Structure 1
Amino acid sequence: MTASPPAPGISRASVGLRSERGPVLLAVMLSTGLVAIDATILATAVPAVVSDLGGFTQFPWLFSVYLLAQAVSVPLYGKLSDLVGRKPIMLVGIGLFVVGSLLCGVAWSMAALIVFRVLQGLGAGAVQPVGMTIIGDIYSTAERAKVQGYIASVWAAASLVGPTLGGFFADYLSWRWIFFVNLPIGVAAVWMLSRNFHERLERKRHRIDYAGATLLALGGTVLLLALLEGGVRWGWGSAISVSLFVASAVLLTAFVAVERRAAEPVLPMWVLGRRVLNATNAAALVAGALTLGLSSYVPLFAQGVLGTGAVVAGFALAAMTIGWPIAASVAGRFYLTVGFRATMLMGSAFAVVGSAVLLTVDGSSTVLHLALACFLIGVGLGFVVSPSVVAAQSSVTWRSRGVVTGTSMFARSVGSAVGVAVFGAIANGVVARRLHGAPTDLQHLPAGVLEPAVHAVFIASTVVAVAMVAAAALMPARVEEPEAD
């Protein structure tokens, strides 16, 4: 078998045999599937986990520590993939995730399960950005949108299969199979990637930016912890909340100072000085906030206000994850003809229209009405997020592609945390006014109180959708592709 010429825009440092791109893509999709299913499969089995291990008050940390570990490690893995190659970092990420899954499956207490979820999160932090970077390496700009549609379809399938699979394991087998199911998928991904993905790299000594990596990890962790737990475990104005925000500001300021002097910084400051990357990171931030807002409150509205069951409520949200890959897969036809900015502006318009439809949903609406709004917003996200990732990757050479992909995904994680914090504060504020400050939670509210609380969140999500228009407008009319390394 002989090697074919690389597709336009692909670096010589990372190209394997062109005929092997299909198996490599499948390996990336399998790896992404690990992370995607894990994002939805555990929620339906929480009662079974708590019944077996106890620790009801601790179970929210199963999700928080995973998100924290994933988010803060994303930019670090992105940089390392630029230094030592995509393949070793991807294999490390899959390995960490699989080992973490095995340990979660044999966990003997809630505390142990939480610790092992951190290991899973560290693995997921490598899988997502490096997988997307590999796609950027082996496919040309013209091909990437369609391929990103495949990746988005993995998330769509996971959002449908995950909750059902989790419920099935919890009811008929054991909640531990929620984690054991990752093992064969991970092994298959490692096998396919090892056999089919080949990199040719210049071997040279690197000066690892340990100080910058440590400050970014600590600063990001403290910031995300403050956003995720503020208003939940402690008040926004409490001493611990203020202390966390001040500490994160100090750590991140020190991180910027260190990066200005580092020989090979984890996050080069030029990333923050390019219009293309500022636009893509802003779009990722806003998309993260909008996605989490819908994921958290649409099912709650469907069940608590419209009176549907969990499955029907999941259908309403699934409409968004169906619209996203449809738009992502055809986005390339648009940005190759009218450009990235026009495509992202069109997507933003879809998101605004979908949010406007969401504002018309009330207690007398049907689930189809709610699903239509989610579908339109999903289409908008597909036309914004996928082109923004392609634009970011196309604006740099191979040596920086991991950094810009990791930065974009980190921005989306921060946006998700900010969205959770802001939307939660808005909903809880409405509830507090309605109940005159009586303590309660959103899961056990009468529809007459829950409806205005979630409607306020829908208003906020409309504002976020409008902010997406502004982020798209930041994108330059033309994105110049640099010469390959």
Structure 2
Amino acid sequence: MISTIQKKTSRPVVLAMVMIAMFITAIEATIVSTAMPSIVSELGGFESLAWVFSIFLLMQAVTIPIYGKLSDLYGRKPIFTIGMIIFLIGSILCGFAGSMTELIVYRLIQGLGAGAVQPLTMTIVSDIYSLEERGKIQGYLSSVWAVSSVTGPALGGFFVEYLSWVWVFWINVPFGIVSLIGLHLFFHENIERKARQIDYKGSALLFIAIGSLMTFFIGSGTLWRWNSLLTYVLLPLFAASLFLFIKVEQQAREPIMPLTLWRNRTIVLSNSAALTSHMVLIGISTFLPTYVQGVMGYSPSIAGMTLGAMSIGWPLASSIGGRYMLRIGMRRMTISGSIFIILGTVFYIMMRPEYGPFYVGTASFVTGVGLGLLSTASLLIVQGSTEWQMRGAATALIMFMRISGSTIGASVLASVLNNRYLSYMKTNAGPLGSEIELNDANILLDPARPPMDAELVELLQSGLTYGLNGVYWSIGVLAILTFGLTCWLPPLDPSTLSTSRTSSEQN
């Protein structure tokens, strides 16, 4: 299949529209987090709170590979349009939710649309910019994630305090419409017209396989025990559907996920590094504020600032590294990024309560530098290793691996924390050991907690420190594994990568 981007495509305008689309999907997690207390107070359903976030993440994960392949078959713009419309419909419905159950269903619809928006924004950029240009452009795209992580909580708080929580969802609508109009007016591609054969069986089996695996990791250890009936249902379902999926893809005329991608060593190693590095990312993002508040005793705003240092290091490294990527070498850049990630985890492992927030912020900044270098280089390596006909599927695959890393990492590392915390309490709490529960640690995270016995506070802090140290050691192992994967990448010659834009010159 051949696609060409026509001369009238305006690259600066398309880039701006893509960044807008990325922003509204990236901000969705942080802006909703701030509003959730108000949403729960109005709708109820606190016991289902986790699914408001999990269902959005789950639906993204299961649909990203499917949308990526469909964009290879039908073009980027029509599939992006469908995804954005679904996302905006879900956003509007979320504002009208009358119960927590309704909100979860509408978040599912949102996730279905976001599964197209996120990977296709990256794919469109790879279509209209050459490999030499993409490094610099990735710095701009990374800045979107940094801005969203900083402005999201502030916007959420503003809407809740001065307007209504419904606007954390409805704010997506005007930006989404602008993005759609801009892309339709200024992004033009010619798609070769021929009969298509959609891989319905493969799509269904992939949906089941990814859905069962992600549901297992989202719920196990939090919503239900690891050793439960659901575990014995979901894992065999994943294995069986994956086996059937591979069989179907081997015979499909237009496989929804080309298996040839998994025979490319460069792509496999880059995707594996994306998985492990995002397990590191979610571990830090989820548990670092807990350490700063619960162990160090600082306020939530200070905790947010220490984590926010990562949002400074990431786009800075991505922008500088992207600008000089071809001079440095993409393989060297991925290795350099993984080294910075290891250095950051060393900071976390050596962290002590008396070191203070500046030390923690330094660790976050260093880790952000590593993630910025690695994520930029690995994405460009994957896109440069494929032609247009499979670039959408390849980009979707690495985006899927990143989301999978976050999902798996959150579940596994939470289990490490919980098990070590309870183990410490049973060993050191004396008669109270059998009475102390996981939720008792919430006392340390309450800035307005009443005066408590100093010995009890010290015991809870020691248990939390012991559990979090286990998390940081686990993150260190993942960082070393990421380094090994990047070192195993074959030497990359830019001349062998796909540098063409599959387009004529743009204005």
Match of 2:430 in 1: none
Provide the C-alpha distance between the structure 2 equivalents of 1:300 and 1:14, rounded to a whole number of angstroms. 50
Are residue 440 (structure 1) and residue 432 (structure 2) matched?
no
1:345 aligned partner, one-letter code: I
CA offsets per residue over residues 356-402 of structure 1, 9 Å max, x none? 11122121121111011011111001111111111111111111100
The residue correspondences of 1:73-472 to structure 2 (distance < 5 A) are 73-436=63-426, 438-441=436-439, 442-444=441-443, 446-472=460-486
Match of 1:481 in 2: 497
Aligned to 1:337, the other structure's residue is in SS state helix
Match of 1:6 in 2: none
Provide the C-alpha distance between the structure 2 equivalents of 1:364 and 1:382, rounded to a whole number of angstroms. 29
Provide the C-alpha distance between the structure 1 equivalents of 2:72 and 2:443, rounded to a whole number of angstroms. 48
Quick one: structure 1 residues 19 and 219, their matched pair in 2 at CA, closer, same or farther if it must change by over 3 Å?
closer
Aligned to 1:200, the other structure's residue is in SS state strand
More deviation in 292-301 or 445-454? 445-454
Aligned to 1:265, the other structure's residue is in SS state coil
Once the 2 structures are TM-superposed, how far is the Cα of residue 334 of structure 1 from its aligned partner? 4.1
More deviation in 271-280 or 472-481? 472-481
1:434/1:449 contact within 8 Å kept: yes
2:418 aligned partner, one-letter code: N
2:262 aligned partner, one-letter code: L
Instruction: State the TM-score, normalizing by the size of structure 1.
Output: 0.95
Cα RMSD (Å) of the superposition?
A: 1.5
Aligned to 1:60, the other structure's residue is in SS state helix
Aligned to 2:165, the other structure's residue is in SS state coil
Provide the C-alpha distance between the structure 1 equivalents of 2:272 and 2:422, rounded to a whole number of angstroms. 32
Provide the C-alpha distance between the structure 1 equivalents of 2:174 and 2:368, rounded to a whole number of angstroms. 31
| Percent of residue pairs identical | 39
Once the 2 structures are TM-superposed, how far is the Cα of residue 280 of structure 1 from its aligned partner? 1.3
2:137/2:322 contact within 8 Å kept: no
Instruction: State the TM-score, normalizing by the size of structure 2.
Output: 0.91
The residue correspondences of 1:41-52 to structure 2 (distance < 5 A) are 41-52=31-42
Match of 1:5 in 2: none
Structure 2: 5+ residue stretches without partners: 427-433, 445-459, 503-507
Quick one: structure 1 residues 234 and 137, their matched pair in 2 at CA, closer, same or farther if it must change by over 3 Å?
same
Provide the C-alpha distance between the structure 2 equivalents of 1:267 and 1:467, rounded to a whole number of angstroms. 26
Once the 2 structures are TM-superposed, how far is the Cα of residue 216 of structure 1 from its aligned partner? 0.5
1:75/1:410 contact within 8 Å kept: yes
1:236/1:242 contact within 8 Å kept: no
1:300/1:443 contact within 8 Å kept: no
Provide the C-alpha distance between the structure 2 equivalents of 1:203 and 1:368, rounded to a whole number of angstroms. 58
The residue correspondences of 1:20-59 to structure 2 (distance < 5 A) are 20-59=10-49
CA offsets per residue over residues 155-210 of structure 1, 9 Å max, x none? 10011100111112122221111111111111111111111100011011111000
Match of 1:63 in 2: 53
2:247 aligned partner, one-letter code: A
1:142/1:332 contact within 8 Å kept: no
Provide the C-alpha distance between the structure 2 equivalents of 1:385 and 1:323, rounded to a whole number of angstroms. 13
CA offsets per residue over residues 66-112 of structure 1, 9 Å max, x none? 00001110000000000000001111111111111100011111111
Q: Number of aligned residue pairs: give it.
A: 475
Provide the C-alpha distance between the structure 2 equivalents of 1:118 and 1:174, rounded to a whole number of angstroms. 22
Once the 2 structures are TM-superposed, how far is the Cα of residue 266 of structure 1 from its aligned partner? 0.7
Once the 2 structures are TM-superposed, how far is the Cα of residue 478 of structure 1 from its aligned partner? 1.4
Provide the C-alpha distance between the structure 2 equivalents of 1:156 and 1:359, rounded to a whole number of angstroms. 25
Once the 2 structures are TM-superposed, how far is the Cα of residue 468 of structure 1 from its aligned partner? 1.1
Quick one: structure 1 residues 37 and 395, their matched pair in 2 at CA, closer, same or farther if it must change by over 3 Å?
same
Provide the C-alpha distance between the structure 2 equivalents of 1:174 and 1:371, rounded to a whole number of angstroms. 33
1:14/1:138 contact within 8 Å kept: no
2:136/2:323 contact within 8 Å kept: no
